[in-house]
Structure 1
């Protein structure tokens, strides 16, 4: 029973389907007739019969010459060609005359046409700013140097340099004022044995613990060495700052001063 209902529906849908034009029947540009006429024209043969594209379908309006602007009479807005579009982009404040002049000048410059007068500066085409870079020297430019210097000016400058030249005589180095304080640098250079080598005898009990306690009172080993040398060192160690008898108090090391002189 359902089969009888489906048959009328299929018939209605088939009737609503629009007809597809047959390209092989002579519609469009891919027909054999069009290809034959095209090949005949390309080979220089005369084509007889009605053309496939009627002349009325082709506009007889000529194209504007390159570098000119066509104004649409309906909107009064210049219509630009492809070459104009590539050469100039209109701005919001430009008039039709501005666009036409600037586009013509841009196209003339691109084509190397020197017969067209340059376009004056406008809001959309400002004058180029002259930028000078004072950081670049022009001493290698003969024209620039010759415009501001001459043989006479060079002679005057040499004379001024000679007049201001002064010879400074060498003088002796100033002597260091002796204040009676031992010089640890001089003491380091006067010795040669390394740190930890016993050279002087030390007697007593718990010398290492005593030296550790006494050395804590000095802000640096240099200060401890100065105090050690000021109180009879290195032969005598009255404050117990040199328990191993190497002549260096509180771990002071003369090696950095020796290396500084060698370098």
Structure 2
């Protein structure tokens, strides 16, 4: 049974191969069409072959010159610009003539002949060169100054020297705000110690509401002292009577002074 199936499959493959079109040889006509292992032709043998492009498809018209450089000066009469003229002796003569014409035109425009680079050329003449300054010229300085004149000038400068004695720093004026640092150093009792009497209704609630209007306890303490504190407390900023408004703490200012603990 297996032999019959194998023969049937083989017959199908052969029938498909017979029906498929032949594959063209894309390399036909390129290189050696004969036996690649054949020996090379003898010396002197002429090998004939067809050109890649037939001569009938090549135009006899001259090709236009597309990469010609732009001239820097008008061309001399009779010069040629075709592609074939650049490979002749006449083309070289035309280029030399054009170069000379360009140099002459440049010299006539600037009023000065162009300078040709050569090691034998003389050094150029500098026009309007002031040279070094009078102060940097050793000869000029030595002509008007001597060791004796320098000594006299040094002695004159020393005689005019004055030493200014330092003075005390001026006191700060113009500020009418209370000095909370000075107030903190003038007190010694801790927070919560009643020093001043306070009278009123709902002092705690009023103090919480009024203290919320200040961005920091330092500003609240300054406002408290400006309004007559610590003896008087019209805004209820110090309900416990310790002299410190809105939980202001004087201890950081005290500890900044050496000797205070």
Q: TM-score range by the shorter chain?
A: 0.3 to 0.5
TM-score by length of 2: 0.37
**Greater gyration radius:** 2
TM-score by length of 1: 0.37
